[in-house]
Structure 1
Amino acid sequence: MPGMSIRLENVGIAVRDLEATIAFFTDLGLTVLGRDEVSGEWADTAVGLDGNHARIAMLQTPDGQGRIELFEYLHPDAIETDPTLPHEIGMHRIAFAVDDIEASLAIAARHGCVPLRGVANYENIYKLSYLRGPSGIIVMLAEDLRKS
């Protein structure tokens, strides 16, 4: 369908602890646009899960372009899984461009989140680091060195 309009609305992430995850992302600089608790037939139909009942929060990047929706399931019980590894098929990571990767990593560390291995320098263009965020979310932080 040529000419069909499409844009990314948000990335949804199921989390173990909504408040801790909100604190992590807001400390990194995102803002909370809203919170809600969802359930009922419409939620069951939209998600494809009977008895769907969750607390949700929508967060936005400072430029207004990126959004993530966090949800903590109240029913059915959330299913714990092994944290995703960087080379596994499926939802991989969420990435953020940051002005200062060291300052961002210090904020993440206050939440107990540290780089998987360290900070890499990609051809003096980017400093990059993957870290394990709340609920095992892989978060990539990238500082564009060309802006310095």
Structure 2
Amino acid sequence: MSIRLENVGIAVRYLERAVAFFTDLGLITTGRGTVQGEWADTAVGLDGNHVKIAVLQTPDGHGQVELFEYLHPAAIERGITAPNEIGMHRVAFSVDDLDAALMIAANHGCYPLRGIAGYQDLYRLAYVRGPSGIIVMLAQKLNTD
């Protein structure tokens, strides 16, 4: 049996804001539409499931994020998740320029949870609170030559 990660799905309050955030960071929109019907009800486990969706891909083609805005049933707001809360923790991206990525995030009102951290002498990284409260890790690999 083989396995590969297909995508990460994230429900958001405002689809267009989330798409703008992730595309400004460099992801590419590869699909948009709405999803509903009996097959969706069965797959997701919600009767009357109806969402707007955007599929975003990393430029290298290896990672995808599916963003959903629920039209029905109504989205359920939760409090802002903490990094140690059980459940989906974060989505992480490698970036060539952490400072530039943080400026893009700031343009969307998204800022580091605490600051920029150094991991050994390998990475500079920051966790930012993205659209709909999503925790997004941005990591820049340092030259170790």
Matched, 1:79 2:87: no
Give 1:40 shift.
1.0
Change (3 A) 1:125 1:20: same
Matched, 1:93 2:90: yes
Give 1:84 shift.
1.3
Correspondence list, 1:21-100, <5 A: 21-100=18-97
- In 2, the alpha carbon distance for the partners of 1:5 and 1:147 equals 33
Report the number of matched residues.
145
Counterpart position of 1:7: 4
Question: For residue 14 of structure 2, what is the amino acid of its counterpart?
Answer: D
Question: For residue 47 of structure 2, what is the amino acid of its counterpart?
Answer: D
- In 1, the alpha carbon distance for the partners of 2:14 and 2:8 equals 17
Verify the 8 A CA contact 2:122 2:144 in the aligned structure 1.
no
Question: For residue 58 of structure 1, what is the amino acid of its counterpart?
Answer: V
Please list every run of at least 4 consecutive aligned residues from structure 1 whose deviation after the TM superposition is greater than 4 angstroms: none
State the TM-score, normalizing by the size of structure 1: 0.96
1:72-93 Cα shifts (integer Å, max 9, x gaps): 0000000000121101111000
Change (3 A) 1:51 1:147: farther
Counterpart position of 1:18: 15
- In 2, the alpha carbon distance for the partners of 1:122 and 1:68 equals 26
State the TM-score, normalizing by the size of structure 2: 0.98
Structure 1 residue runs of 5 or longer lacking an equivalent are none
Question: For residue 143 of structure 2, what is the amino acid of its counterpart?
Answer: R
Give 1:146 shift.
2.1
Matched, 1:137 2:137: no
Give 1:147 shift.
6.3
Question: For residue 10 of structure 1, what is the amino acid of its counterpart?
Answer: N
SS of 2:80 mapped into structure 1: coil
1:56-99 Cα shifts (integer Å, max 9, x gaps): 01000010000000000000000000121101111000000000
